[in-house]
Amino acid sequence: MSEERKVDKPQQGVFGGRSGGPAGSLGKPVEKAKDFKGTLFRLLSYLKPQRTRFITVFIFAILGTIFSIVGPKIMSKAITKIAEGFGAKMMALKMHQPIPSMDFTYIGQIVLILLGLYLISAVFSYLQQYIMAGVAQKTVYNMRKEVDEKLARLPLKFFDARTHGEILSRVTNDFDNISTTLQQSLTQLITSIVTILGVVVMMLSISPLLTLIVILTLPLYVAVTMNIAKHSQKNFAAQQKSLGQLNGHVEEMYTGHRIVKAYGREDESITTFNAINEQLYTAGYKAQFISGIIMPLMRFVGNLGYVIVCVVGGIFATRGAITIGDILAFIQYSRQFTMPIVQTANIANIIQSTVASAERVFELLDESEELPDSADAKVIAFPKGEVRFENVDFSYKEEEPLIKNMNIDVKQGHTIAIVGPTGAGKTTLVNLLMRFYEIGAGKITIDGVDIRDIKRGSLRSMFGMVLQDTWLFNGTIMENIAYGREGATEEEVIQATRAAHAHHFIKTLPDGYNTILNEEASNISQGQKQLLTIARAILADPSILILDEATSSVDSRTEVYIQKAMTELMNGRTSFVIAHRLSTIRDAELILVMNKGSIIEMGNHNDLLAQNGFYADLYNSQFAGANLENDVV
């Protein structure tokens, strides 16, 4: 449940990517990467193939920013001209002289220049974002593809040790993060820095002293941010904790709704919820408040600079040390100063969390892979299905050996029954036979060839699996069965479903073979799913079978079909059967008794009964036991 929900997050914002205003992520605790520098460079190396475009983006970003920064400075000339004209007019009025006209040609020229500048600036920033769209998305696409291809090469050990949610979250959430950063934050960072630098340069060119005053407000920005960040971390952590508790409680109560109702515990559940909710509220509004005042405080610092510029500028102007146009330009510049500073602080956080995301992705990419097939790997064209284990050792964890020195010899067409209590680790055998896991010592051969010398693809195509966790994908029934063999025709599929006794039920579905199985394939019953997987295995026509006889939660008539289909499927093939039916076990050439992951007894039915060990005990309780229970409920 929780793993699904991680993915189920709302889509990214339209502007700025992250919701919560321009200072959205300020003050929130940031996830840090373990190796920031290394990961950052590695992430950047993904941009290499697009180097030219990437550099173009940067140049365009810089140009676009510069052109827009120059604007106010040039405009100040026009304003000054107007002011001069205005002053001259006043003078003329006082002196009762003919009123001189303003220099409209000059002002006009400047206006035209400005028009041009702004237009060019806009074009550059548009082009920059346009190109970046391609660069960023293509890069993320490539990374995602690389991860997917990596997943295909990873051993099953990797998947068994992790939840699906964990892996999914890397491919979705982490990539989401990376993609937004590449698309927006990176160029924003560039433009912000260029803006800050450009603004400082322009301000210096107007008045070094005023610039100094404005720059003196900088430490204030830093102080405000740092202080708030420090305070807010605590509150955000508390909020996060309460939120986690709340989510946990909700998840538990909802998944256990039936029990809560059955035991009449709704009120207690609500009381607990309200208590957590109250905590969340207290921590939440504090966190919200503290991060919320960043913007007003920033604006105040900005206004402080603005007022000082007005006053000092005004005083300078009275002494003729500065023109009115310059003051306006200066005001505009000092206003442009605030945003990029806030943004840079913000982006610094974003980049940190992006690098942390990237690190997680790279960790996955660095996982050790399955041993590749050797160059002279063999293909067995017409396998007979003779399986031998010779002195095989195996363990999942080194310190806990599961299988020691196992020797079995299976002839073509034999049935090997695997029995044992639930959770005895029967999948281990599947893992070894299909070489999902590598054995520690000894060798497994098929038709006399070590399976490590067989191409993985060829090895696995010798096997057919009908396991309890039937895997079907979101697609039509036809597609799902045809999965068994590449290029199977429709007739072949139908033939297979007939043999699996599945044809009839498929025909009764409204869309027949074109019925689309939904995500959990919950639109057909468990038993029907099992029939489909049998059909899939029949279509694949393997020489060795791995079957799970368990048919729990299948109604008895479907069960009869399933068993018929399985029996037909096993005919003439070497079969490893996770056995539940007495007849299968008794008729098996070899019985492997498993408990807690290891094989503890081995032999045929009579041998094992004679041993009077675990199997005999199991047999007596499970099968003969049916007669014993007259004295129980």
Partner 1 sequence: MLKLYRFLKQYSLYIAVIIVFLFAQVLSDLYLPTLMADIVDKGLANQDINYILKIGGFMLLIAAGGTLCAIMATYLSSKTAVGFGKILREKIFAKVESFSLHEFDKFGTATLITRTTNDVTQIQQVSVLILSMMITAPLTCIGGVIMALQQDRSLAWVLVVTIPILFLVIGMTLKRGLPLFKVMQEKIDKLNLVLREKLTGIRVVRAFNRIEKERVRFDDANADLMDNAVKVNIIMAVLMPAMMLIMNLTTVALVWFGALRIEDGSMQIGSLLAFIQYATQILFSLLMLVMLFIMVPRAQVSAVRINEVLEANLDIIDPEKSNTANNEGGFVEFKEVSFRYPGADQPALNKITFSAKPGELTAIIGGTGSGKSTLVNLITRFYDVENGSVLVDGVDVREMSQKALRAKIGFVPQKTVLFSGTIAENIKYGKENATMEELEQAARVAQATEFVSGLEAGFDHHIAQGGTNVSGGQKQRLSIARALIRKPEIYIFDDSFSALDFKTSAKLRAALKPEVLDATVFIIAQSVSTVRDADRIIVLDDGQISGMGTHKELLNTCKVYREIVASQLSEEELA
CB of 203 to partner 1, least distance (A): 17
The size of the interface with partner 1 (CB under 8 A), counted in residues, is: 171
**Which one, 55 or 307, has the nearer CB to partner 1?**
307
CB of 66 to partner 1, least distance (A): 14
Is residue 29 within 8 Å of residue 237, measured between CB atoms? Answer: yes
Residue 212: which residues within 8 A CB-CB, separation 6 or more? none
Q: Which stretch binds partner 1 (CB under 8 A): 117-125, 203-211, 397-405, 440-448?
A: 117-125
For the stretch 16-48, what's the b/e string if a residue is b when 16 or more beta carbons lie within 10 angstroms of its beta carbon?
A: bbbeeebbbbbbbbbeebeeeeebbebbeebbe
Is residue 224 a contact point for partner 1 (CB under 8 A)? no
- The 3 state secondary structure assigned to 159-174 is HHCCCHHHHHHHHHHH
Secondary structure E strands in 552-632: 574-578, 590-595, 598-603
Interactions with partner 1, residue window 552-591 (CB under 8 A): 552-560, 563, 582-583
Residue 430 corresponds to which tokens in the numbers above? 């599947």
Is residue 137 a contact point for partner 1 (CB under 8 A)? yes
**Which one, 228 or 410, has the nearer CB to partner 1?**
228
**Which one, 41 or 130, has the nearer CB to partner 1?**
130
Question: Three-state SS for 222?
Answer: helix
Interactions with partner 1, residue window 332-351 (CB under 8 A): none
Q: Which stretch binds partner 1 (CB under 8 A): 269-277, 501-509, 569-577, 602-610?
A: 269-277
Is residue 136 a contact point for partner 1 (CB under 8 A)? yes
Q: Nearest to residue 111, comparing CAs of 65, 147, 75?
A: 75
List 240, 277, 476, 495, residue binding partner 1 (CB under 8 A): 277
Q: How far apart are CA 309 and CA 311, in angstroms?
A: 6
Transcribe 583-599 into DSSP letters.
HHHHH-SEEEEEETTEE
CB of 391 to partner 1, least distance (A): 26
Q: Which stretch binds partner 1 (CB under 8 A): 196-204, 419-427, 440-448, 498-506?
A: 419-427
**Which one, 113 or 390, has the nearer CB to partner 1?**
113
- Interface pattern 465-484 for partner 1 (x via CB under 8 A): x-x---xxxx--------xx
- Interface pattern 154-193 for partner 1 (x via CB under 8 A): --x--x----x--xx--xx------x---x----------
**Which one, 89 or 452, has the nearer CB to partner 1?**
89
List 30, 40, 70, 83, residue binding partner 1 (CB under 8 A): 83
Helix residue ranges per DSSP H, 104-185:
104-153, 156-160, 164-169, 175-180
Q: Nearest to residue 575, comparing CAs of 590, 586, 558?
A: 590
Is residue 596 a contact point for partner 1 (CB under 8 A)? no
**Which one, 221 or 306, has the nearer CB to partner 1?**
306
Q: How many CB atoms lie within 10 A of CB 336?
A: 19
In whole angstroms, how large is the CA radius of gyration of the chain? 37
Q: How far apart are CA 18 and CA 177, in angstroms?
A: 10
